[in-house]
Amino acid sequence: MSTVIAFAGKGGVGKTTVAALVIRSMSGRKIAPVLAVDADPNSNLGETLGLPVDTTIGDIRETYMKDPQGIPSGMDKVNYLETLVEQALIETANYDLLVMGRQEGQGCYCMVNNILNNFTDKLSRHYRCMVVDNEAGMEHLSRRTSGRVDLLFLVTDYSLRGLRAVRRINDMLVGLKLDVKELALIVTRGPAELGETFLAEAAEIGIPIAGVIPDDPALLEFDMARRSLLDLPDDSPAVLAVDKLLDSYKLC
């Protein structure tokens, strides 16, 4: 059974960047195979990893809903949808990427969602580790059949607004059908020493700070050049911070 590591936080705090850097660090540590899941409707994990994304789970769902009878002869709907998911999987040497894509439109999606979610859950079991870049509401995680998360990183930038979003997400966990074994906080664009006000508010939330990712100019440079964060140099401050973070956990 794979180890499930998930990231959540409000938009713009850098959780997708952190998820990509974690995948980079895993590749360097020969942790494979890894299934990366982009579960944020504003899908950009593939772009951050330097991978073109042609098909998402959302595309598959919408295509099926437009023509439920358009299943090839000799296939049932379960096999048909599972085949489409396998075709949407982007494979690389050290990790594979599956992009969930847009949310549902109008209509009843229960049947197709159940098939897709069940197959995604089964697929993940063939990987040593699964890294999930989630939306703030964590809808995808709550829908997964197993509902198991080994390590959930709540990501905030160095701001009280980001921390308060983390607090809301943490409060929301109570109502979700999730089995979260460990919960930790990651601070992005943080200084060498976090201020007392920030630390006091973090202490009120009650989630330990696992690591601080410094403001790294190379991240912006790579973004502007449309380069994969996997190609960042080993001495990049952000890379070093994530490597140090993973040293604290026995992952996968």
CB 177 within 8 A of CB 142: yes
Would 135 be classed as within a structural domain? yes
**Residue 168 lies in domain:** 3-247
d(CA 159, CA 147) in angstroms, rounded, equals: 30
Would 148 be classed as within a structural domain? yes
Local confidence band at 66 (pLDDT 50, 70, 90 cut-offs): confident
Would 79 be classed as within a structural domain? yes
Would 252 be classed as within a structural domain? no
**Residue 56 parent element (H or E):** none
Tokens 């890294």 belong to 131
Would 94 be classed as within a structural domain? yes
Would 152 be classed as within a structural domain? yes
For 29-36, what is the mean pLDDT? 92
Local confidence band at 67 (pLDDT 50, 70, 90 cut-offs): confident
pTM of the full structure? 0.91
CB 129 within 8 A of CB 2: yes
CATH number assigned to the domain comprising residue 127: 3.40.50.300
d(CA 19, CA 133) in angstroms, rounded, equals: 6
Burial label for 154, CB within 10 Å (0-12, 13-18, 19+), is buried
As for how many domains the chain has, the answer is 1
Two tokens at 119?
A: 């197959």
